[in-house]
Homo-oligomer: A and B are copies of this chain.
Amino acid sequence: MTKMIDPSTLVLFGASGNLSRVKLMPGLFRLDAAGRLHDDMKILSVGRGEVPLEAWRADIKGMLDAKFKGGYDQKVYERFIARNHYHANPPSDPDAFNKLRDKLADERVFPQNLAYFLSVRPTDFATIVEQLAGVGLVDETNYWRRVLIEKPFGTDLPSAQALQAALTKHLKESQIYRIDHYLGKSAVQNVMLTRFTNAILEPLWNNEYIDHVQITNNETLGVGDRTTFYDATGALRDMFQSHLLQTLAMVAMEKPKDLQPESIRAEKIKLLESIRPIDVSNMDKQAFRAQYAAGRVCVGDGHGENVPGYLEELKRDGVDASNTETYAAAKLFIDNPRWKGVPFYVRTAKRMHEGNTAIAVRFKKAPMLLNDNQHQNWLIINIQPRECIKIEIESKIPGLDIATRTISVDAPQRQADDESIDSYETLLLNLMAGDASQYLHINEVLAQWRLVDPIVKTWASDTRAVHQYIAGSRDPLESKVIFENEDQFWRYSIELGGDKH
């Protein structure tokens, strides 16, 4: 189904920043080229300094030239560039937001449905909303007004609650679009569609047939030059709290009654709120952290590259010690009838031997066991690097004897001529279409922090040395401590019958 879209103005705060240059402007251009923007849609970029309109448009042209090296349609370009306007909003000018209001008041230029994209520092979210409200720019009496908040939404439960309180002084929940760009990924959306548009999955999708589930986001990259940010954040807050728990919600939620945004979000909230809180008195059996040491990782062209350890990178930037995790894993249980007793093992790590985002489901033992080595079935939804679905089943070894082996039925979900859509394109389109299904409801954010905060706190006060793993290696064997059963461990993406070690 193609979404219906009202005429609107997208007001882009932080328009000269990197996200805007690399993702937002090119994404909007592509939406325009695909015929997805309303004819009257306008883009008002808001920046600190005065920039003449023609200079700003030339700047945009530069962004497009940089992104679309193969060139682009000139007719689309002219249509797109004509949508673009600029407004200077110097922090020193107490009258800046009044001027913004006056600028937007010109209905001949700007449709009055307003979508604000706050591509700014998290500390500025509340202030900007307050100032917009102060000049009447979030009032929905005659038109809709929506505010997109970039991640992170707080850095723990209290800060998220405080931000929410500041926003809801001026905005209704339905006006707030909290971003988790993972949800804009087609492959992540596919998790839900795959589950519910196939008759053969739903009957198996419960504790009667599923042994355990693994949700993985591993990278070969290290922290790079983001040491300061990363050391204050860690893998748990950077990836686990947001993307991985959202993926878990997609995997485990009940079927929404329809595909309406509120129906989907209601099921995700219910799921996230039913994850059993971590028992902090028994943390070592439920959560595991580690840091990468110097090692050798595989780079793009298949060659190895020597890389420094995390602590060495910190030292280079003047930090002497850190307990911050670059590997975070936890075992979660969901307290509802469907998932009673099924462990969900969730991990994210930097500097691993392979980059891989995947959902791997191991099923219980088969009704007929020919021998002790018979593999259990796996279903793997691979999101990165390759979008594919893989099912591992047992099949007879041709020949005289009764014996089976594991074969893998495997299909790419992406075909050669498929569009490659950046997640921001989807998210921008949905912002304008008023479809919040791929944005976070506040209750999702709060449930995620509520779950993660106790781990963060326990780890912060734990002075034992953090496990080290060699960059480019597989999961630390010490992480086995969180697994429920001897025969469970992390599975790697591509190997067949990956449940044996």
A411: Cβ under 8 A from any B Cβ: yes
* Residues B429 and A199 in contact, CB atoms below 8 Å apart: no
Separation in Å of the A462 CB from the closest CB of chain B? 39
CA of A196 to CA of B407 in the docked complex: distance in angstroms? 15
* Residues A409 and B391 in contact, CB atoms below 8 Å apart: yes
Contact A398 B410, CB 8 Å, known A196-B368, A369-B197 = no
Separation in Å of the A379 CB from the closest CB of chain B? 7
Q: Mark A24-49, 1 if CB is under 8 A from B, else 0.
A: 00000001001010000000000000
* Residues A194 and B395 in contact, CB atoms below 8 Å apart: yes
From 384 to 408 in chain A, residues with beta carbon under 8 angstroms from any chain B beta carbon are 387, 389-391, 393-404, 407-408
* Residues A199 and B364 in contact, CB atoms below 8 Å apart: yes
Number of interface residues of A (CB under 8 A): 68
Chain B's closest residue to A410 (CB) is B409
B residues less than 8 Å from A419 (CB atoms): 398-400
Chain B's closest residue to A363 (CB) is B199
B residues less than 8 Å from A425 (CB atoms): 400
From 170 to 195 in chain A, residues with beta carbon under 8 angstroms from any chain B beta carbon are 186-187, 189-190, 193-194
CA of A204 to CA of B363 in the docked complex: distance in angstroms? 14
A413: Cβ under 8 A from any B Cβ: yes
Q: Among A201, A203, A400, find the residue whose CB has the most chain B CB atoms closer than 10 A.
A: A400
* Residues B396 and A196 in contact, CB atoms below 8 Å apart: no
Chain B's closest residue to A184 (CB) is B400
* Residues A255 and B209 in contact, CB atoms below 8 Å apart: no
B residues less than 8 Å from A401 (CB atoms): 1-3
Separation in Å of the A430 CB from the closest CB of chain B? 9
A165: Cβ under 8 A from any B Cβ: no
- Complex copy number for this chain: 2
* Residues B198 and A394 in contact, CB atoms below 8 Å apart: yes
A473: Cβ under 8 A from any B Cβ: no
* Residues B399 and A200 in contact, CB atoms below 8 Å apart: no
Interface 9-mer from A61-69, A98-106, A335-343, A370-378: A370-378
Chain B's closest residue to A407 (CB) is B411
* Residues B429 and A400 in contact, CB atoms below 8 Å apart: yes
Separation in Å of the A172 CB from the closest CB of chain B? 25
A141: Cβ under 8 A from any B Cβ: no
Chain B's closest residue to A430 (CB) is B400
* Residues B413 and A426 in contact, CB atoms below 8 Å apart: no
B residues less than 8 Å from A199 (CB atoms): 209, 363-367, 376-377
Given A1-B403, A190-B395, A399-B418, output 18 extra A-B contacts at Cβ < 8 Å: A1-B401, A2-B401, A31-B400, A193-B368, A193-B402, A196-B367, A197-B369, A197-B394, A198-B366, A198-B377, A198-B393, A199-B209, A200-B393, A203-B203, A389-B409, A397-B418, A400-B426, A410-B411
